[in-house]
Chains A and B, each alone.
Chain A
Amino acid sequence: MKIVNLSRRDFLKTGTIAGGGLLLGIQIPRLGASETGVTSDKTFEPNAFVRIGSDDSVTLIINHSEMGQGVYTSLAMILAEELECDWKRVRVEASPVAPAYNNTLFGIQMTGGSTSVKSEWDRLRNMGAAARTMLVTAAAADWSVAAEECHATNGVVIHSTSGRHATFGSLVEKAAAVEAPETVTLKDPAKFRLIGKATRRLDTPSKLDGSAVFGIDVRVPGMLVAVVARPPVFGAKLKSVDSKKSKAIPGVRHVVEIGRGVAVVADGFWQAEKGRQALELVWDEGALADLDSVKEGVMFAELADKPGLVARNIGDSDAALAGAKQTLAADYEVPYLAHAPMEPLNCVADVRKDSCEVWVGTQSQTLDVMAAARAAGLAPAQVKLHTTLLGGAFGRRAVLDSHFVVEAVEISKAVKAPVKVIWTREDDITGGFYRPRYLHRLRGGLDAEGKIAGWQQRIVSQSFIIGGPFASMLVKDGVDELAIEGASDAVYAIADRRVEWHQAPNGVPTLWWRSVGHSANAFVVESFLDELAHAAGRDPLEVRRELLKDQPRHLRVLDRAAKEAGWGKPLPEGRARGIAVHASFGSYVAQVAEVSVSKRGEVRVHRVVCAIDCGPIVNPDTIAAQMEGSVVFALSAALYGEITFEKGRVQQSNFHDYPVLRFDEMPLVETHIVQSSDSMGGVGEPAVPPVAPAVTNAIFALTGQRIRRLPIDPKQLAG
């Protein structure tokens, strides 16, 4: 790989706006052991990702957002491995927004799709190796020895024969004068010292003493706090505003109309919130004023009565089903889901005459900068965006219209002051951008030997891709690939299979939600396959093994999960196991869930055994953490998650009626990483899809009740 020697300072020049010059009382994430870099008078900045100080500090600049998935550690590990620096001296800084920091898979700066490690693996290894090569070259020249006789280790360059050595910090000036190498030699993976070893996260200490800076913690001088009254029904338009009572509340400074509602701007959150409650607003509620989840379900079912766009068609499923000895038909449904990250959405913006500065926990920097520029009436080069830590995201902080940034920019521009917009939990739960609702209609056949003979699957869901900026990449023949992923591309060896898709009308804003289409589709595929297995009187594991005999990565995780979970071995009375396997985001995950059901129908998940093959691994402890997190996230949805509408209004508002998994409900999650040298996949999302079907398949094994609708209704299981 050719190394482009771009100085990070050059990016900063183009990314930085002239003027403004605020002195801020905050520090954007700069995490890690060493704080000594602050005192470095000289630095070596070989590329956009590495900065070495004359005091031996090593600052690694990370372009993916840290939202809990551990990238500030795993990406730093990749750089540090090749750089051969002292890990104890590494600290991490959030990158600015610049083309050099674009996600190599997306072409824009964006964190998502479980791509962080996969997209940076080659680049960061090369960046680290280039920096190391330059340091070694500088030392060798200084000693008048051949560079081949020198090597770097633990932050020191050593001349092997003489034993001479120099720390990286002592070499910064000389290394800065070395030309960047055209090519570099990467380390032999067998010699990795960091990559592949369980490594503690660099960001942990700051998250234990209140010093970590999330977006909501940003304060800039003169800043006001705003909350926004948004439409009570999606698509409603404001008819009139009476802000007299609101403005009378002490601390309320401004009430301003913006594109998405009415903002109350005050000295602090509480005053703003009281001001919002005092607003008298009249809305034209528009087309969704009568939106009702029950009626919407009927509409989805009517769509499912008609043929949809063909997303996949193999063999002749009509003939196969006509000739089947037995056929099964089932409808499966999953609801809208809110992401509900623990940190409610927020954004700080400071719009000046010729500049706009934004501080935000975002997954989507490039789009946010463009949207902020449009909202501010400025050029993108006049916008400076600082990425803070993200208090969870799960997709909610990568929005195609950048609405939570645009709101802040519009308000700051209107009131001519820096403004922090804070969403309440109610704003978050009722604010849309949900995982789309789905209806699946299935028919499956079994032949005389109990083998699957024909599979038809008609999917109804909305699309947030069609008509948006990613449509050209993700829509094929009218079908939104994110809507059908995990269903159309199922790899079970079923000779005759057809998958169709209907786009349900839009209106309710929808969005990617951790594991996107897989979150719905894997539940359906893995459940219906289980139905067919049971109908054939066969072991669901054996049916999967048979249908996946040409899929070695699926098979490896399936077998590993089954073995570790003790599949087939007796369990205490009142417990049963269920199994599911699914590939997504380039990784393969199988899970065995162990459940019990109370007399009142309450489901308890005791244990989830996960086996993952994600190819080469960076930080195994992060992988385990992502398995644990995925189980909690998916189980929250399977047991409780549901956004519904009546009279156009969202019926849920906070954690009392949109419950999530709590401490005492946590199953024991075990992670088994299947060693693999196959292609690299992601780890943030792939363990979400199999959770619900592993649990509901276990419920069937225990109770004979097939769960075809999420969240699981205890009434179906009571008694």
Chain B
Amino acid sequence: MIRFKVNKEEQEVTISPDTPLLWVLRDTFGMNGTKFGCGQSLCGACTVHVDGKAVRSCVTPVSDVAGTAITTIEGLDPKLGGPLKDAWIAEDVPQCGYCQSGQIMAAAALLRENASPSDADIDEAMTGIICRCGTYQRIRRAIHRAAKATSEVAK
């Protein structure tokens, strides 16, 4: 049995320990916000936070997250996620939307570490998350907007 927290709730699963966290979230817990895109840590659609760090859940065996606290798009802290989602709406970012959970989770991890990221910081944090619809330039604007909104609240 493997125990860990998902969005602040204690969870336990009895499953083959090599099962990727992604499929435990989706198939076992029925939490569909975290997406399958490549299965090889190449596209970032499956990005979640494990103890606050952005992690690709498609290549993370569930045994590796025993005892950790996992955050998915469904449980993103409103203090962090609220300004990001507002900014995403203001910039009308999503097209198909499939990659956006991963984009927001990556952006949230970035802003947690770096309250006012530069374009280069954003490039570095976001390059792992593929969007085939081409929302990259809106995401960049949205991250800057969210950073600004958060810093204004902090003032």
Contact = CB atoms under 8 A, between A and B. Distances in A.
A341 B96 contact: yes
7 contacts: A205-B85, A210-B34, A343-B96, A425-B39, A628-B138, A633-B133, A663-B140
Interface string A189-223: 00000000000110111111111111011010000
Contacts of A203: 94, 97
Interface string A321-345: 0000000000000000000111110
Contacts of A717: none
B74 interface: yes
B138 A660 contact: no
Interface string A169-207: 000000000000000000000000000000011011111
A210 B38 contact: no
B47 interface: no
Given A422-B36, A663-B131, 11 more contacts: A68-B94, A68-B95, A200-B92, A219-B30, A341-B96, A393-B96, A632-B134, A654-B38, A654-B39, A661-B134, A662-B128
A111 to B, nearest CB: 13
A69 B130 CA distance: 17
A204 B94 CA distance: 6
Interface size class of B (residues with CB under 8 A): 35 or more
A219 B25 CA distance: 13
Determine the main DSSP class of B at the interface with A.
Answer: loop
Contact of B132 (A225, A340, A424, A625): A340
Interface string A49-75: 000000000000000001111100000
A25 B23 CA distance: 18
B130 A654 contact: no
A67 B96 contact: yes
Nearest to A631: B134
A655 B27 CA distance: 24
B133 A210 contact: no
A625 B96 CA distance: 11
A15 interface: no
A107 interface: no
Contacts of A225: 27
A663 B89 contact: no
A391 interface: yes
A217 B101 CA distance: 13
Contacts of B88: 204, 208
B133 to A, nearest CB: 5
Interface stretch (A37-45, A94-102, A664-672, A699-707): A664-672
A48 interface: no
A621 interface: yes
B54 interface: no
A270 B98 contact: no
Contacts of B6: none
A425 B37 contact: yes
Count chain B CB atoms within 10 A of each CB in A69, A625, A633, A636 and give the residue with the most. Answer: A625
B81 to A, nearest CB: 8
A432 interface: no
A12 B58 CA distance: 39
Contacts of B74: 209-210
Count chain B CB atoms within 10 A of each CB in A270, A341, A661 and give the residue with the most. Answer: A270
B134 A628 contact: yes
Given A209-B33, A211-B33, A342 B20 contact: no
Contacts of A25: 30
A269 B26 contact: yes
A668 B137 contact: yes
B147 to A, nearest CB: 16
Interface in B1-48: 16, 19-20, 23, 26-28, 30-40, 42-43, 45
Contact of A424 (B39, B127, B135, B140): B39
Contacts of B104: 208
B30 to A, nearest CB: 6
Interface string A23-36: 00100000000000
Contacts of B34: 210
Given A210-B72, A632-B132, A632-B133, A269 B27 contact: yes
Given A250-B16, A342-B45, A666 B137 contact: yes
A341 B27 contact: no
